[in-house]
């Protein structure tokens, strides 16, 4: 893709992108990188993810950001009960993509300590938080540039019209190819 000058999006839960062999391959003009973090607590995250610890992912985001890459933390899914918003806001991360938890019976098995009774909106086989709850949670995030990826039609329209910097792309990719 670098050879043909085609932009690409990498979405990962890995911190490997900052290894020299990956940095050599990534083209700053073409690579769009989103590193997913659901919780900042390494021990808690290890209970439900088999991926690089969040501390390593955060370091990777900060490293890529300092080197001028189009990188964002992807809070996916964002679960209020799992996120330390003060710690998140102190990381110096410039961009984030937010995607809220969609709940079904399978999901309920994986995430302990979540108040699933708040998920009142039904669409596409999942239960979602009401828009007002999502807005309240997003207000806790003080990362300068936020974009919200959304499944609920009415909620998508709200985020697109009033929050997302790039109205045509909820991933808010920078340096889009012409």
* Residue 33 to residues 27, 156, 161, Cα–Cα distance (Å): 11, 22, 24
For the question of whether the overall pTM of this predicted structure is more than 0.85, the answer is yes
pLDDT, one tens digit per residue, over 146-171 is: 999 999 999 999 999 999 988 877 77
Cross-strand pairs, 74: 36, 97
pLDDT digits (tens, 9 = 90+) for 102-142: 999 889 988 888 999 999 999 999 999 999 999 999 999 99
Q: What is the DSSP string of 103-172?
A: B-HHHHHH-TT--GGG--EEETTEEE--HHHHHHHHTT---SEEEEE--SHHHHHHHHHHT-SSTT-TT-
């Amino acid at each position: 893709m670098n050879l043909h000058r085609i932009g690409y999006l990498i979405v990962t839960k890995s911190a490997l992108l900052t290894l020299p062999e990956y940095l050599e391959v990534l083209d700053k003009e073409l690579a769009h990188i989103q590193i997913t973090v659901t919780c900042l607590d390494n021990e808690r995250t290890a209970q439900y993810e088999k991926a690089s610890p969040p501390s390593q992912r955060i370091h990777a985001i900060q490293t890529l950001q300092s080197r001028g890459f189009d990188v964002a933390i992807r809070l996916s899914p964002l679960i209020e009960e799992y996120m330390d918003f003060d710690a998140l806001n102190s990381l110096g991360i410039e961009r984030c993509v937010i995607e809220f938890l969609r709940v079904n019976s399978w999901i309920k098995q994986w995430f302990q300590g979540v108040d699933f009774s708040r998920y009142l909106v039904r669409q596409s086989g999942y239960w979602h938080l009401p828009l007002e709850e999502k807005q309240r949670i997003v207000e806790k995030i003080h990362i300068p540039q936020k974009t919200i990826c959304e499944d609920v039609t009415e909620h998508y329209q709200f985020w697109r019209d009033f929050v997302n910097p790039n109205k045509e792309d909820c991933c808010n990719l920078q340096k889009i190819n012409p």
